[in-house]
Amino acid sequence: MNILSAFVVGLVFGLGLILSGMTDPSKVQAFLDIAGVWDPSLGLVMGGAILVSSVAFFFASKRTRAVLGEEMRIPTATQIDKRLVLGGLAFGAGWGLAGYCPGPAVASLFTGMIEPVIFVAAMLVGMAVYELHSRMTANA
């Protein structure tokens, strides 16, 4: 049941990304280009997502178990550190240059275009390199 639920939620999320235009790199880059021909429409999408997730997190923080019975694992970190800032900068730079972030890139894999395939492959390689580096520095 949990796998089916995860699949349905992921499918709805992916369809939402497609319908909102988040999978269109040119639309994303137009949103980020505030000095050029700025397209603020994705700001409404993100604002709506923040509103919905804020309400969901409020109610989730009051629970110990998810609706399907799994343990709730809500992040507890509150400190802004160098790792968070550098990660955010890298994410933003990649998003601006490529026009993709992880969710929309995965949703775009089925469009038949090569760009999201390259992006997701590079993202997976980067994740693997980070994981290897983390393990090596933890054991040193």
Average pLDDT, integer, range 93-101 = 87
Per-residue pLDDT of 13-70, as tens digits, reads: 889 888 888 889 988 889 888 898 899 988 898 899 899 999 998 998 888 888 888 8
- Report the alpha-carbon angle 95-107-54, nearest 5: 70
Task: Give yes or no for a contact between 96 and 32, defined as CB atoms under 8 angstroms apart.
Answer: yes
Task: Give yes or no for a contact between 55 and 128, defined as CB atoms under 8 angstroms apart.
Answer: no
Domain residue limits, the chain: 2-139
Cβ count within 10 A of residue 2:
10
Pick from 124, 106, 103, 129: nearest CA to 116: 106
What pTM was estimated for this model as a whole? 0.75
Task: Give yes or no for a contact between 32 and 22, defined as CB atoms under 8 angstroms apart.
Answer: no
Q: Residue 27: what are its φ and ψ, rounded to 5°?
A: -70, -40
